[in-house]
Amino acid sequence: MSILSVGCGRKQKQPNLVRLDISPEVEPDIVWDLEKMPYPFKDSTFSEIECFDVIEHLTNIPNNLQEFHRILKPGGLLKITTPHFSCANSYIDPTHKWHLSYFSFDYFSDSHSLSYYSKARYQIKYRHIQFQGGRVNRSVIRRLANKFPQTYEQRWAWIFPAWYVYFELEAIK
C-alpha cells in the first residue's frame, strides 16, 4: 500500500508514505506546489491520498480532485479534512480560499446533476461532521447533524457551529 500525504507539514517519515509539501522547511520527501499540474507521479501510483486541512487552500478544487484521481489506483481512497463552513477557523486563516460543506464533494459523483464540471469520479464512502466543545455538541448535535446534514447546514449550522468535515472518497475508474 502506498500513501501520499499532500501538504504533509511536519508529518514524520513512515514506510510506504510519500510526504509532499510546498515548504522545504518541513523537509518533505518532495517539495511541490499543489497548484502546479501535473503532479510528479505516474497514473495510478497511490492506494491512498491524505489531504488533511489542505483542500481549502487550493485555488481550483476540481483540478486538484482530477489530479488526485489520476494518481490514485482504481478503488484508491482520498481522505480529506477541512473546516466546516460554520467554523470560525474557516474564516480566521487568510490563506483559506473556500468554506466547504458536507455536500461539497457530491459534484464528483455521477449522481449529482452538475457532475459535468469534472471528469474525476468518486464514490463517497464516508463523511462526517465533527464538533468540538461540550458533551451536547459532541453527542446530541453531532448525531443530529450527521443524520440530517441538509437540515443542519440550512438551519442549525450558525446556531451550533461544526468544527470540521471528514471525507473518504473512492476513486471510480
Domain ranges of the chain: 3-171
3-state secondary structure at position 21:
strand
Sign of torsion, CA 121 127 129 130? negative
**Order of all β-strands in the sheet with 122-130:** 30-31, 17-21, 3-6, 46-52, 72-83, 164-171, 122-130
Question: In this structure, are strands 164-171 and 122-130 parallel, antiparallel, or unpaired?
Answer: antiparallel
pLDDT at 135 over 80: no
The pTM of this model reads 0.93
Identify the CATH homologous superfamily for domain 3-171: Vaccinia Virus protein VP39 (3.40.50.150)
pLDDT in tens, 19-73: 999 999 999 999 999 999 999 999 999 999 999 999 999 999 999 999 999 999 9
Please check whether residue 83 is in contact with residue 52, taking contact to mean a CB–CB distance below 8 angstroms: no
Question: In this structure, are strands 46-52 and 72-83 parallel, antiparallel, or unpaired?
Answer: parallel
Question: In this structure, are strands 30-31 and 122-130 parallel, antiparallel, or unpaired?
Answer: unpaired
